[in-house]
């Protein structure tokens, strides 16, 4: 197959591309605008492979998207391009509406035009796989509740609302135009090459520098943590074996409170950096004002993908989080390059001001 991956320079997208190039005979076309969170260094191990191609294209640019699809003639599209940081969506929702909604619409229309022009055999084999989030469901009430594929949508933030909208667009294009689609909704990802505005890489890198470790509210928010390479395996499984027009929830079976995650990271850094002047790193924990509309608990029921496609996560939280810390400690150049002035400005605006308001 030739698979076109949008957002392939991002955290999850780069993991998907690495998985495909390293573990299959398929070819990949990486379509990425290279916004602040896109990083081609995350693909250095595969970017010279003859089965890999890169196109710097904004998915909102219909002419450019048409050209890429026409030139590369993909057998499937995996749509991961999205603005994904909740706090950024609160302070600046416009980019989320543009990329996640308008971009998805533009891509769907370009793909529909291309798909309609294929011969019968290629039309039947084609797949449009839309990668989404469990945040579209809102938060769970009971401690035993789980998100299933039938859980109603109740998004809480501009980010999750924009992703919910894109999910609805994909399903509408399937229902109305017959486009063969698949949708997956995943829990919180973590692992190598994660842009350091998200909780786990932020805590690791701040702790190494002796900076405050910001925890929203009381830190009791619960998330289901999914190792990104497990997610990449699941996504490839869905695009190649999933049933058309179906939705699959993907979770790591690892529910943890945010504060528990932070303490785990501190303990690992105490172990792996025993000579650190900032040990014990847990002393750096700082509680900051909670963000507006913060969901309290997410948890995925991933029985369907296990039952129908035979996928289960290989990493426990304990094994995955250790691998993650080891990766950041072993890749200081990647970290140094990604931490630009714009990133520092964002951290100052988002976390320092919140600490002052707490």
Reduced 3-state DSSP string for 134-182? HHHHCCCCCCCCCECCCCCCCCCCHHHHHHHHHHHHHHHHHHHHCCCEE
Catalytic residue among 32, 55, 58, 135: 135
Query: Does residue 139 have an active-site annotation?
Result: no
d(CA 223, CA 253): 10
Q: Which of 32, 58, 134, 295 is catalytic?
A: 134
Could you tell me the fold of the domain covering 2-194+224-255+293-316? Rossmann fold (3.40.50)
pLDDT score for 136:
97
Cα 80 from Cα 8, distance rounded (Å): 7
pLDDT score, position 190: 97
Averages of pLDDT over each 10 residues, the chain, 358 residues: 97 97 98 88 95 97 98 98 90 95 98 98 98 94 88 95 98 98 97 92 96 94 95 98 98 93 98 96 94 87 97 96 98 85 62 64
Chain centre distance of CA 26: 22
Please indicate whether residue 135 is annotated as part of the active site: yes
Alpha carbon distances (Å) from 141 to 146, 182, 299: 9, 28, 11
Catalytic residue among 159, 190, 216, 298: 159
Domain definitions of the chain by residue range: 2-194+224-255+293-316
**The pLDDT value given to residue 345:** 67
pLDDT at 341: 61
Q: Are 315 and 229 in contact (CB under 8 A)?
A: yes
CB 270 within 8 A of CB 280: yes
**Distances 145 to 114, 175, 259 between C-alpha atoms, Å:** 41, 30, 21
Known catalytic membership, residue 109: no
Give kind and range of the element (H or E) at residue 112: helix 104-116
- Where in the chain does DSSP place strands (E)? 2-6, 27-32, 52-56, 76-79, 127-133, 181-186, 188-190, 213-216, 222-227, 247-250, 255-257, 285-288
């Amino acid at each position: 197959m030739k698979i076109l991956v949008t957002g392939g320079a991002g955290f999850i997208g780069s993991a998907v591309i690495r998985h495909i190039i390293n573990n299959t005979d398929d070819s990949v076309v990486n379509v990425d605008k290279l916004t602040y969170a896109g990083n081609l260094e995350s693909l250095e191990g595969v970017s010279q492979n003859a089965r890999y191609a890169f196109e710097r294209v904004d998915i909102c640019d219909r002419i450019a998207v048409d050209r890429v699809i026409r030139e590369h003639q993909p057998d499937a599209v995996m749509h991961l391009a999205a603005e994904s940081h909740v706090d950024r969506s609160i302070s600046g929702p416009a980019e989320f509406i543009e990329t996640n909604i308008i971009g998805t619409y533009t891509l769907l229309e370009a793909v529909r035009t291309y798909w309609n022009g294929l011969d019968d055999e290629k039309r039947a084999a084609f797949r449009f796989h839309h990668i989404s989030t469990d945040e579209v469901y809102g938060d769970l009430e009971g401690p035993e509740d789980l998100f299933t594929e039938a859980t109603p949508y109740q998004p809480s933030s501009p980010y999750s609302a924009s992703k919910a909208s894109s999910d609805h667009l994909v399903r509408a294009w399937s229902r109305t135009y017959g486009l063969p689609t698949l949708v997956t909704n995943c829990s919180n990802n973590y692992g190598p090459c994660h842009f350091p505005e998200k909780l786990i890489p932020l805590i690791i890198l701040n702790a190494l520098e002796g900076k405050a470790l910001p925890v929203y509210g009381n830190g009791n928010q619960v998330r289901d943590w999914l190792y990104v390479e497990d997610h990449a395996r699941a996504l490839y499984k869905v695009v190649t074996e999933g049933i058309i027009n179906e939705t699959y929830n993907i979770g790591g079976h690892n529910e943890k409170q945010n504060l528990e995650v932070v303490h785990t990271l501190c303990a690992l850094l105490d172990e792996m950096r025993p000579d650190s002047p900032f040990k014990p790193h847990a002393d750096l924990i700082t509680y900051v004002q909670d963000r507006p509309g913060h969901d309290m608990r997410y948890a995925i029921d991933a029985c369907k993908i296990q039952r129908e496609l035979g996928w289960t996560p290989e990493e426990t939280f304990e094994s995955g989080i250790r691998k993650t810390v080891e990766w950041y400690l072993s890749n200081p150049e990647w970290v140094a390059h990604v931490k630009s002035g714009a990133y520092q400005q964002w951290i100052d605006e988002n976390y320092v001001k919140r600490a002052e308001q707490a």
